[in-house]
Structure 1
Amino acid sequence: MAAPCAACSWTSERQGSCRYDSHVKLFYGVSDRGVWSLGSNFILKERSNNPPNFEAKNIRFLRENTTIPVPTIVEEWDEQNGRYFMLTKRIHGEALNTVWATMSAAEKEHIAKQTADYIFQLRRLHSPRLQSMEGQPLYSAFLFPNGYGLPHGPLSSDDELWAEMAAALKSVPEKACQRLRERIPSAGPYTFTHGDLTNVNIMVKDGNLAGILDWEASGYFPVWWEFTCAGIGLGQEDQEWKTLLREHMPSYEEAREFWLDFYALSKYPNLNERGEAFLRELLHE
């Protein structure tokens, strides 16, 4: 007898004994969370209630302050066992990653421009501190690569930002750290940032942008962070998408070059070619 499904307890034997075919499907799972499709109209997210868990607050904030197409929240609640649930209406369409290979260059350009136009609305949403909504810390394993799921801030200055970032450089030669500190771009104005514009989070329908998903770790980041993290490609097609998207975004190329060197050195002593080249350049000065 086959072991029952850990998510729903269903077995092939039970399936064979009835005519019921479930339209409740677990279609995404990672770490401590899962996303369920409930028929054709609703999405249910389940995860722990530990931060970063600001998606509902962020979505409500965006609905009040932008026209960005985000999910509609139906209900959210906590369970006593430390689990959190959020029920939203489904944004109908297809994820960009599923249709990218079949799209024409003009269609890709159109979606990139639409996405950048919506994200541009975030540029006017500022905060006096680097923080998540309601004064909560920021979470980003790319901006703060000293550990996954660690809180940072709120932060109120470039010095405080660098101190948090530099925690990932403890073993790096001091001269390299000093050089990076000299190059860090000003973080202000602290700007509301999505932070994960991967092609999985972009919904398209009938040739147009239908929605932008996954706002759970968004918050007020350095003004240059949206452009910079839009250069982190998760696979070839995602890299193609983000390269195109950046062409329509305000450019912070110097900040991106700074971060690429910083992130490369954060892997010290296991450096990639970029990190090795950075250290060689310092040694020959």
Structure 2
Amino acid sequence: MPARFPFIPLLKTETETSKSQPGCQLLVQKPGDRSIWALGASYILKHRPYHSGCEIEIQNAEFARKRLGERQDMPSIPKTELHWRDGDRYFVIERRIEGESLDNALPRLTQQDLARIGHQVGQYLLNFKTITQSRTARLDGRVVNDWRLFKPLPDSSSGDYLICATDSDLASNLALSIARRLDKPNLDAFMAKMPSGLPFTFSHSDVHEGNIMVKDGNFVGLIDWELAGFYPSWWEYINSSPLLSEHFPAQIRNHDALEWFRVYHAIRDQTKEEGALRLSEYLQGRAWSSA
């Protein structure tokens, strides 16, 4: 199960004909000609087409490590050992976090295990709640790029959105993708109910079972920091794994924002009829209880 509001495709794992060479095994093949390989037991090799700014994942992980410190009790953040550009390709070698991804471990875990791991992940994310800034942006100043939040307009050639500095900016950006599906009175009524996203908070923004590492029934680290940046304060909770987020500390949970974004997601990404139904129920005060 991916994040609650997945952007498809997220990743594709090699399961049928896994490629390997001595000491090197393909772990994941991602869309866009990107792949992740295991180099022995201690290192990971990532390679992808090069584009300006693709180094941001390293910057994000280093930023998170520095802000959280190198405490022994703190779950691991992948440490980059080497990265380079070779023509039109970009390569990264990083230390491998011990354990396995939660999606691989799920068949062996109990509900008690999931509750414990969910609490541990939530406590970990709680550390980021104090890292805030005045606008939504990546660390290099570019617009945040999680399309589960800011989905490009169908007729947009670039899909870019403005960097948000206020709740009004955030609402205006989010309204762009649904404006053509609603009349103005309903659009205004719905956007007026958007929970405040302030303060904009540092977020991993991809907390799903494939990126949560576990060992012996405990959370040991998060991988894949490419989408991290400063997002609305409620984004990390509503975009996290639904298997775990119900076990997050109360300081992270925001049910009003989750309910609002469920309706927003239905209006934006489901049929126009389904979106209209969810909006009508929401504006009439009827909660949508489905996950």
- Specify the TM-score bucket, using the shorter chain as the normaliser: 0.7 to 0.9
1:117-266 aligned within 5 A: 117-146=123-152, 150-172=159-181, 173-230=183-240, 239=242, 241-246=243-248, 250-266=252-268
Q: Which is richer in helix?
A: 1
What is the number of equivalent residue pairs in this alignment?
254
Counterpart Cα distance in 2 of 1:139 and 1:180: 24
Counterpart Cα distance in 2 of 1:224 and 1:280: 22
The one-letter code sitting in structure 2 at the alignment partner of 1:97 is D
Q: Compare relative contact order (CA 8 Å, sep 6+) and give the higher one, 1 or 2.
A: 2
- Do the aligned partners of residues 52 and 130 (structure 1) sit closer, same or farther apart at CA in structure 2, a change above 3 Å counting? farther
Equivalent residue, structure 2, for 1:48: 49
1:58-69 aligned within 5 A: 58-66=60-68, 67-69=74-76
The one-letter code sitting in structure 1 at the alignment partner of 2:255 is E
- Do the aligned partners of residues 270 and 22 (structure 1) sit closer, same or farther apart at CA in structure 2, a change above 3 Å counting? farther
Mapped pair 1:74 → 2:76: no
Q: Post-superposition shift, 1:59? A: 0.7
Q: Name the stretch that deviates more: 163-172 or 210-219.
A: 163-172
CA offset digits 1:180-207 (Å, max 9, x no partner): 2211121111100111111111111123
Report the structure number with the largest CA radius of gyration. 1
**8 Å contact 1:76–1:86 — kept in the other structure?**
yes
- When the two chains are superposed, the root-mean-square deviation of aligned CA atoms in Å is 2.5
**8 Å contact 1:54–1:216 — kept in the other structure?**
yes
SS of 2:196's partner is coil
- Do the aligned partners of residues 281 and 70 (structure 1) sit closer, same or farther apart at CA in structure 2, a change above 3 Å counting? closer
Q: Post-superposition shift, 1:146? A: 2.9
- Do the aligned partners of residues 245 and 160 (structure 1) sit closer, same or farther apart at CA in structure 2, a change above 3 Å counting? same
SS of 1:135's partner is coil
Gaps of 5+ in 1: 1-19, 231-237
Q: Post-superposition shift, 1:68? A: 4.3
Identity between Structure 1 and Structure 2 (%):
24
SS of 1:183's partner is coil
**8 Å contact 2:238–2:258 — kept in the other structure?**
yes
Counterpart Cα distance in 1 of 2:127 and 2:61: 14
Mapped pair 1:23 → 2:38: no
Counterpart Cα distance in 2 of 1:270 and 1:144: 19
Gaps of 5+ in 2: 1-19, 69-73, 285-291
CA offset digits 1:131-171 (Å, max 9, x no partner): 11031210121111235984434221112212221121131
The one-letter code sitting in structure 2 at the alignment partner of 1:110 is R
Counterpart Cα distance in 2 of 1:62 and 1:281: 37
**8 Å contact 1:193–1:226 — kept in the other structure?**
yes
- Do the aligned partners of residues 87 and 53 (structure 1) sit closer, same or farther apart at CA in structure 2, a change above 3 Å counting? same
Counterpart Cα distance in 2 of 1:281 and 1:161: 20
SS of 1:114's partner is helix
Counterpart Cα distance in 2 of 1:144 and 1:151: 9
**8 Å contact 2:237–2:245 — kept in the other structure?**
no
Counterpart Cα distance in 1 of 2:144 and 2:54: 8
Counterpart Cα distance in 1 of 2:169 and 2:193: 15
Counterpart Cα distance in 1 of 2:35 and 2:21: 20
**8 Å contact 2:123–2:249 — kept in the other structure?**
no
Q: Post-superposition shift, 1:46? A: 1.0
SS of 1:171's partner is helix
Q: If the length of structure 1 is used for normalisation, what is the TM-score?
A: 0.80
Counterpart Cα distance in 2 of 1:96 and 1:44: 20
- Do the aligned partners of residues 141 and 204 (structure 1) sit closer, same or farther apart at CA in structure 2, a change above 3 Å counting? same
Counterpart Cα distance in 2 of 1:36 and 1:199: 19
